[in-house]
Amino acid sequence: MDMKEKMPITPTTPVPAPSAAIAAEAHEQAPSVADNVSHEREPAPRIDVPRPPTFDERSVDDLDAGQEPKMSADKVSVFYGDKQALKDISIRIYEDRVTAFIGPSGCGKSTFLRCLNRMNDTIPSARVTGRIELDNEDINGPDMDVVQLRARVGMVFQKPNPFPKSIFENVAYGPRIHGLSRNKSELHDIVERSLKRAGLWDEVKDRLHESGTALSGGQQQRLCIARAIAVDPEVILMDEPCSALDPIATAKIEELIHELRGRYAIAIVTHNMQQAARVSQRTAFFHLGELVEYGKTSQIFTNPRQQRTTDYITGRYG
Amino acid sequence: MNSITNSRWTDEVMRRRVRRRYAAERLFSALGLAAIALSVLFLAFLLTTVAAKGLGGFVHTEAKLSIDFAKTDLFLDPASLHGPDAAQTVAGADLEGAISKAAANEYGPAAAQMFSGAAVERLGAAIVANPDILTGKTDLWLPVASNIDIAAKDRGDDRSERLVGELQQHDALKRSFNTQFLTASDSTDASAAGVFGALKGTFLTVLVTMALAFPIGVLAAVYLEEFAPRNRWTDAIEVSINNLAAVPSIIFGLLGLAVFLNLMNLPRSAPLVGGMTLALMTMPVIVIAGRNAIKTVPPSIRDAALGVGASKMQVTFHHVLPLALPGILTGTIIGMARALGETAPLLMIGMRAFVAAPPGGIASPATVLPVQIFLWSDEVDRGFVEKTSAAIIVLLLFMLVMNGLAIFLRNRFERRW
């Protein structure tokens, strides 16, 4: 897993890229507003060899042509103080498919996920540049209220983190603070619906007033998912939701992700490549703060275009 | 290879090392046990001495006295004593003279001064309760003066000892629970002195301290920990607060004197000013404990709440603060316990005055238990010695009750995560 430390920062050999990718690169280097933005940025330590083409943009464009992305990131970079954690990430997330972010530890995939609902705002030294849109609206813009954004873009964390309150209160908290229910029975309906969608209702319906922390790890994580969907978000971000769970609980969460697909746009960070292959339709491979490759999951895992992707998915490093 | 390994793990050098390790462990646990035993010993010593000296303060000696009201010159008409002014009328009469005459009659001239001021009050109360006793002869048990009390309990001067001996022959002495100690205030007469005034003063002072220091301290801790930007100013504030917690309490007294009394002209000796002064002293302790408690709330809880779209304030007040509350309460208990036992700053703002009545409110003159103990320990009258220890017991019980309450509250709020 920690092989990345031994990896040279600069690839020693140019990555063989198909001609389509080179064309895409040429397309990418066309002057654009986003380019100007990136020039205004303070110079940060960067790899000083020309970067290999990040992904086969045209093929993804072909795949997703004519569809409105739910969220789109354009040349997003994140700095922690002087250290650049993410470099010019451009990615799109669609309503009807699960997008998986894979990559070795510390490659920035969680950082990127946390940009999407501005959780990085809570880290004082973090600075985000570039543009991220939700339904074509800039999430960092002055018209966007961060609290509402986080309700619209829900999040499930790596470690199950239910509130130390009852199961009911855990799920009811979001609707309550956002005033989504007019009375008790409505609130109860929301809680029941959310727990049913999270596949937890049958297990907890008789003990809604017991503590959420008394559940098993997998149940806690499904409770967290229920809590996230209780405010009826448009996007759900999952940050390694299964890394603290056993295989059976993991299978349940994956099944749940399948069921939630279509209703919510889902982005999931995972360390587990099999999981990415199982649950996602799009996969993005991050390495050292860069988006190395983005494409159809089946293509990434069977026919990666980048050498680094091949190395990673075949277990050469990471 | 195998033989080398075997010899390495079992040879003499290794065995000695293992023995030394065990010896070090035994030594450490012995030292720990010794430290605990020593502190238990100190505690036991403290409690037994205080109890041995102080329990006598809760008991007083009473002597039987028969008063033939016909022979006294009280000039009280039982018929006039049924109205609401009865108490005042009785108080105007020379009850003390009546008691001393009756005592001299019964037990000889040496007994004329054997009853205390408390006895006068007791007699007055008895007359008000039942004015008809004035028509005849009545037997009453009245508390004796403190020199007789000491002679009866322990060893007094020769005259008192003789008198006690005589009273015991008449079977005219008994011990009973000294309710007056818990209901009366300070007095120049040791047998009539009680802690109620000081207890009430302490209660009011602590109430004021609590009402000021807890919210201000908690809000300051929350702001510094959750909202304030990290910069040089907040660092400076943090250092100042830490230093404030270490400032000697007498200096807070001087500050209280200068600001609350001289500048703001608040009433002297009042629980209000005492409470404000102690609040200054307690607040830094609460801030430090509060910040530490808030720091221990796992960030995952904050993330969870932010993730469903809670605002910073909702995160703080719905999640962080409830989870930090047990820790904050622990700090508050420590701070309040320190405030409760504080004497020096209160001396500076005039709470060492002789106050013979319980305070009516937070603005009326009062004293507090630790100051009362300090004042009594300075008294010449031997009767105050056991009162001092008894007051210490009351103070410790008060502290115990308060801490018990706080711990109960803390456990109710305690949650696992």
Residues of A in contact with B230 (CB under 8 A): 124
Residues of B in contact with A154 (CB under 8 A): 307-308
Per-residue pLDDT reduced to its tens digit, A198-248: 889 999 999 999 999 899 989 999 999 999 999 999 999 999 999 888 888
Size of interface A-B (CB pairs under 8 A): 69
Residues of A in contact with B416 (CB under 8 A): 164, 213
- Alpha-carbon gap: A268 to the closest alpha carbon of chain B (Å): 15
> Is the pLDDT reported for residue A33 higher than 60?
no
Q: Of A54-63, A286-295, B103-112, B299-308, which range is least confident?
A: A54-63
Handedness of CA A280, A282, A286, A292 (dihedral sign): positive
Among B302, B307, B417, beta carbon nearest to A150? B307
Tell whether ipTM is more than 0.90. Answer: no
Residues of A in contact with B305 (CB under 8 A): 163, 173
CATH 1.10.10.60 fits B196-413, yes or no: no
Q: Are the Cβ atoms of A228 and B229 closer than 8 angstroms?
A: no
- State the pLDDT at residue B105: 80
- State the pLDDT at residue A318: 53
CA-nearest residue to A158 within chain B is B300
Domain chopping of chain B, boundaries: 2-48, 56-177, 196-413
Beta sheet of A83-93, edge-to-edge order: A137-138, A126-134, A71-80, A83-93, A290-296, A282-287, A98-102, A265-269, A235-239, A153-156
Residues of B in contact with A122 (CB under 8 A): 302-303, 306
Q: Which tops the pLDDT comparison, B125 or A1?
A: B125
- State the pLDDT at residue A69: 86
Mean pLDDT, all residues of chain A: 81
Q: Which CATH class is domain A2-313?
A: alpha beta
Domain chopping of chain A, boundaries: 2-313
Mean pLDDT, all residues of chain B: 86
State how far the Cα of A126 lies from the Cα of A121, in Å rounded to an integer. Answer: 7
Among A119, A124, A164, beta carbon nearest to B323? A164
State how far the Cα of B152 lies from the Cα of B308, in Å rounded to an integer. Answer: 75
Whether B302 contacts chain A with CB within 8 A: yes
State how far the Cα of A157 lies from the Cα of A180, in Å rounded to an integer. Answer: 23
Whether B84 contacts chain A with CB within 8 A: no
Conformational region of residue B321, where left means phi above 0, alpha means psi within -120 to 50, and beta covers everything else: alpha
Confidence of residue B256 (pLDDT cuts 50, 70, 90): very high
DSSP string of A77-112, one letter each residue = EEEETTEEEEEEEEEEE-TTSEEEEE-STTSSHHHH
Per-residue pLDDT reduced to its tens digit, B343-383: 899 998 888 888 888 888 888 888 899 999 999 988 887 78
Q: Which tops the pLDDT comparison, B416 or B302?
A: B302
State how far the Cα of B182 lies from the Cα of B193, in Å rounded to an integer. Answer: 9
- Alpha-carbon gap: B410 to the closest alpha carbon of chain A (Å): 16
Q: Are the Cβ atoms of A155 and B310 closer than 8 angstroms?
A: no
Q: Which tops the pLDDT comparison, B15 or A60?
A: B15
Among A119, A148, A157, beta carbon nearest to B300? A157
Q: Of A105-109, A112-116, B1-5, B410-414, which range is least confident?
A: B1-5
- Mean predicted confidence (pLDDT) in B260-280: 92
Q: Are the Cβ atoms of A122 and B306 closer than 8 angstroms?
A: yes
Handedness of CA A177, A183, A184, A189 (dihedral sign): negative
- State the pLDDT at residue A168: 94
- Mean predicted confidence (pLDDT) in B81-102: 76
What pTM, to 2 d.p., does this model score?
0.77
Q: Which of A134, A173, A221 to mutate to test the interface with B (most CBs of B within 10 A)?
A: A173
Among B304, B314, B417, beta carbon nearest to A177? B314
Whether A164 contacts chain B with CB within 8 A: yes
CA-nearest residue to B315 within chain A is A177
Among A122, A152, A161, beta carbon nearest to B304? A161
Per-residue pLDDT reduced to its tens digit, A108-125: 888 999 999 999 888 888
- State the pLDDT at residue A58: 47
CA-nearest residue to A149 within chain B is B309
Give exposure, A171-207, as e/b (b: 16+ Cβ within 10 Å): bbbbbbbbebbeeeeebeebbbbbbebbbbbebbeee
- Alpha-carbon gap: B238 to the closest alpha carbon of chain A (Å): 19
Q: State how beta strands A153-156 and A235-239 pair.
A: parallel
Q: Which tops the pLDDT comparison, B122 or B25?
A: B25
- Alpha-carbon gap: A114 to the closest alpha carbon of chain B (Å): 10
Conformational region of residue B228, where left means phi above 0, alpha means psi within -120 to 50, and beta covers everything else: beta
Handedness of CA B334, B336, B342, B348 (dihedral sign): positive
- Alpha-carbon gap: A49 to the closest alpha carbon of chain B (Å): 37
Q: Which tops the pLDDT comparison, B138 or B27?
A: B27
Q: Which of B227, B296, B308, B317 to mutate to test the interface with A (most CBs of A within 10 A)?
A: B308
- Alpha-carbon gap: A40 to the closest alpha carbon of chain B (Å): 26
Q: Would you say B270 and B363 are in contact if contact means Cβ atoms under 8 Å apart?
A: yes
Range picked from A44-53, A300-309, B165-174, B207-216 for highest mean pLDDT: B207-216
